[in-house]
Chains A and B, each alone.
Chain A
Amino acid sequence: MQIFVNGETRQVPPDCNVAQLLAEMRLADKRCALEVNREIVPRSAYATWVLQNTDQVEIIHAVGGG
């Protein structure tokens, strides 16, 4: 199925959960936060949150700013 991650399309297997997505993207050990369809997914729910076709995923982190 197809989802959108930070505005880019991405193919993921059916029943892919957030933890698997982050592992696949090599972001599992990075300090980041994530929302799916504008809803924040708590870290504790990564392994149980199953992604759906056309989900909009945003993965954010801290960058330099004033």
Chain B
Amino acid sequence: MSALPSTEPHHADPLIIAGKRYTSRLLVGTGKYRDLEETRRAVEASGAEIVTVAIRRTNIGQNAGEPNLLDVLPPERYTILPNTAGCYTAEDAIRTCRLARELLDGHDLVKLEVLGDQKTLFPDIPATLKAAEILVKEGFKVMVYTTDDPLIAKRLEELGCVAVMPLAAPIGSGLGIRNPYNIRLIVENAKVPILVDAGVGTASDAAIAMELGCDGVLMNTAIAAARNPVLMASAMNKAVQAGREAYLAGRMPRKLYGSASSPIEGSFF
């Protein structure tokens, strides 16, 4: 008996970032949840193995005893991806990454974002390139947030970033993939994983990103701002898998006219 083709290609189709293998192609943020328990349940339902966190001042004084995010998302279980969210200069982003590496005992995978505009949250590309170059030299494994510009994406890859993460639409906008052609061009030209980061609104957006050939999707608000975040996390988990399988399966060609699925032969009418 010949071996049946696998119906679960993701098992043999790992996402590899900086030499480490992951089963899940969905990466999730941890912001905007009601509380840490909801965060924990949503991350669990998403199936994500890589979770993004922000780096901020520790609560001092009255709130010093508050539970810590890393207590509910232990680094022993999840790959923690500290981000430079809120940084508007290369210097602030680099400083944040250095502190994060110290916080996580030398763990050097970081998500670099250098913002350029408070209204759109679009990245400052010159500052992003500058920060990426320095961080790579310092030994960081940089997953970089960028615009959907294919030339910039390639440049970031050439600088040594381990993954390039073009936006689908502005952070937190939920507008879906505004320029699928650019995402596709970026994917076609890339030798490192390409992940859509930001702008996904619902499950179909995540599936489309994967059908375009992206290696993964990173999202936060689409899950956290859903009416039922835990259920949406589950939906995103499935959408990313479905989109990946559809991409690997290869879609049928589009046709202008109908084409019957039932045979004409054998008709008795």
**8 A Cβ contacts from A11-28 to B:** 25-27
**A40 and B99 within 8 A (CB):** yes
A interface size (C-beta, 8 A):
26
Q: Mark B241-268, 1 if CB is under 8 A from A, else 0.
A: 0000000000000000000000000000
Chain B residue nearest in CB terms to A8: B60
Q: Mark B27-45, 1 if CB is under 8 A from A, else 0.
A: 0111111001001000000
Q: Would B60 and A6 count as touching, CB distance under 8 A?
A: yes
B54 proximity list for chain A (CB < 8 A) = 62-66
Q: How large is the interface on B (under 10, 10 to 19, 20 to 34, 35 or more residues)?
A: 35 or more
B42-84 contact mask (Cβ, 8 Å, vs A): 1 or 0: 0000000000111111101100110011110000000010110
Q: Are B58 and A59 in contact (CB under 8 A)?
A: yes
Task: Select from chain A the residue with minimum beta-carbon distance to B30.
Answer: A64
Does A42 lie within 8 Å of B57, measured CB to CB? no
**Does B98 sit within 8 A of A, measured CB to CB?**
yes
Contact B103 A32 (CB under 8 A): yes
| A60 close to chain B: CB less than 8 A | yes
B102 within 8 Å of A (CB atoms): yes
**Is the CB–CB distance between A61 and B65 below 8 Å?**
no
Contacts of B102 in A (CB 8 A): 33-34, 40, 42-43
Q: Are A60 and B68 interface neighbours, CB within 8 A?
A: no
Contacting pair B53 A35 (CB below 8 A): no
Closest to A32 in B: B58
Name, among A26, A31, A33, A65, the residue most crowded by chain B CB atoms within 10 Å (CB to CB). A65
B69 touching A66, Cβ below 8 Å: no
Q: Which residues of B contact A6 (CB under 8 A)?
A: 57-58, 60
Contact B33 A64 (CB under 8 A): yes
Find the A residue at minimum CB distance from B29: A66
Interface string of A36-65 (1 = CB under 8 A from B): 001010110000000000000011111111
Interface check B147, CB cutoff 8 A: no
A64/B69 in contact, CB under 8 A: yes
Can you list 9 residue pairs at the A/B interface with Cβ under 8 Å?
A30-B64, A31-B68, A60-B57, A61-B69, A62-B103, A64-B29, A65-B30, A66-B30, A66-B31
Supplied contacts A64-B29, A66-B85, 4 more A-B pairs, CB within 8 Å: A27-B60, A33-B102, A63-B55, A66-B32
